[in-house]
Amino acid sequence: MQRFDLSLPTPAQNLAFDEAILEWAEENAADGEFLRLWESPQPMVVVGRSSCVGKEVNEEFCRQERIPILRRSSGGAAIVTGPGCLMYALVLSYAVRPELKDITRAHSYILKQLTTSLGPLLSHAGTITCAGTSDLAMQRGAGSGERGVGSPRSVRKFSGNSLRMKRTHLLYHGTLLYAFDLGLIEKCLRTPPRQPEYRNARPHGDFVMNVPATRQQLADAVITAFPMASAPSDVPASRVDELVAERFGNDRWNYERA
């Protein structure tokens, strides 16, 4: 496995890069695997491949604040990211890990690896749990000051994840909130049309949290969960530009897919 620690200047380029390394692995390396870490330099909304922008996003607010709305190639609901939210992307090979051809096992394997690695770092804040289909959440400890400790409402999400499966590889990517402006989520997103049971109909502000860790601590934990070599020399820069033009920088892709 090889690693990119690379944040590109624009939202479209950052989404395109995840797709480009997935395509490169499909075309060039049956057993090639990659980990990418990045952080958007500006707030952005990213909707899932089948999401309806009008149902999930407060377009008027985003337009007023010049917050771009883009569509990723993987599933799931809309997210907000930006400074204070570490993003990671994994491209994993079925030749190396044939069990990942099963979607349920793919979610379980990757989230378990992250939970095991993040657990010691965040143990003072509570217990990490896998929740919903593909979330990581924190069950707050008795000393956290959280009301109703032990109740479902004391479980707060700090990581949302999604995947895209192709012929020889899958792309698994997600968020890790550590110093994000959580109020921005409430302003940018509507109440999601689909909610995991553990959310208990809570508004965004009562459902999500930043974990008490630095970006570097979280990055080190992800690297520990998925060990790799140094970054490859062949960065698919030209394909990133093509994908920006074809999809991620194209309003028809971002707004009219669903």
Instruction: Kindly list the structural domains of the chain, giving each domain's residue range(s) and its CATH number in brackets, ordered by start.
Output: 2-101+162-199+213-256 (3.30.930.10)
Most confident of 59-73, 148-162, 227-241: 59-73
pLDDT bracket for residue 3 (50, 70, 90): confident
| Percent of the chain clearing pLDDT 70 (strictly above) | 91
* pLDDT reading at 190 higher than 90: yes
pLDDT bracket for residue 204 (50, 70, 90): very high
pLDDT bracket for residue 121 (50, 70, 90): very high
Contact by Cβ (8 Å): 36, 172: no
Quick one: CA dihedral 19, 191, 87, 220, positive or negative?
negative
pLDDT bracket for residue 194 (50, 70, 90): confident
Comparing C-alpha atoms, which of 155, 209, 145 is closest to residue 178? 209
The per-residue pLDDT for range 19-29, each reduced to its tens digit, is: 999 999 998 87
Q: Give the mean pLDDT of 73-77.
A: 93
| Alpha-carbon radius of gyration of the chain | 18
pLDDT bracket for residue 229 (50, 70, 90): low
Query: Whole-angstrom Cα distance, residue 115 to residue 120?
Result: 9
Query: Whole-angstrom Cα distance, residue 114 to residue 99?
Result: 17
Q: Give the mean pLDDT of 152-157.
A: 82
pLDDT at 30 (0 to 100) = 79
Q: Give the mean pLDDT of 155-169.
A: 96
- For tokens 């999500």, the residue is 208
pLDDT at 233 (0 to 100) = 57
Contact by Cβ (8 Å): 92, 42: no
pLDDT at 145 (0 to 100) = 47
* pLDDT reading at 150 higher than 50: no
